[in-house]
Structure 1
């Protein structure tokens, strides 16, 4: 029963995110709205961490399974992806390196400022 309650809490925030997506004219995915709402509720104490902990851990454990449909989609779209594979690969590598460097630099700046 505990898991059902926790899943229902998470689903309620996801559903609220879907409603916000319909109402608000911004190009933001509904899942982002839902996660932001749940994060805000956790920070403010409206929802306690223990109220969603076990269901959240379960969802994180099964997350790799959720990538299977995306992988299958890539395999079935190989004909369309083949001509642009090199540019997409270069863009992906450059983006990964850029994100890693900027995250590292920002983290170092924050760590240095908190030590002072």
Structure 2
């Protein structure tokens, strides 16, 4: 949990550095930072896996307020539902492609620059 707290603290220091026209939420910076730390093996997966699994187990509970808010605004969903679904699908596809290429880039950098073994089982 300490690693997550430290990453979130550093993220909260980085977040105000972005211009007001391009605000980046602290948790998003934290996710990117944690990903970079894991991809470069500065932080080992075994050090964050247990707490990460615990947080993932809470994810359904954390989305309850969003579901209630969505049910309260069904008229908006009725009017703009198709557009919302299309934007969500397109954004998800773009996200998956960007994550895949970013991961491939980090693996390539780790192999060529740092001469690291990138096997998952290490």
TM range (shorter): 0.5 to 0.7
Hey, what's the Cα distance between the residues in 2 that align with 1:49 and 1:94?
30
**Per-residue Cα deviation, 1:29-80 (whole angstroms, up to 9, x for no partner):** 2212111111122222322211111001111122122111111111222344
Q: CA shift at 1:94, angstroms? A: 6.2
TM-score of the superposed pair, with normalisation by structure 1: 0.63
Q: In 2 relative to 1, CA 16–94 (structure 1 residues): closer, same or farther, beyond 3 Å?
A: closer
Hey, what's the Cα distance between the residues in 2 that align with 1:16 and 1:64?
27
Hey, what's the Cα distance between the residues in 2 that align with 1:92 and 1:40?
27
* Structure 1 gap segments, 5+ residues each: 1-6, 111-116
Computed over aligned residues only, the root mean square deviation of the Cα atoms, in angstroms, reads 3.1
Q: In 2 relative to 1, CA 40–94 (structure 1 residues): closer, same or farther, beyond 3 Å?
A: closer
Hey, what's the Cα distance between the residues in 1 that align with 2:50 and 2:15?
27
Please name the residue that 2:51 is paired with.
55
TM-score of the superposed pair, with normalisation by structure 2: 0.60
Match of 1:8 among 2, 15, 35: 2
Hey, what's the Cα distance between the residues in 2 that align with 1:94 and 1:19?
32
Does 2:90 match 1:95?
yes
Please name the residue that 1:23 is paired with.
17
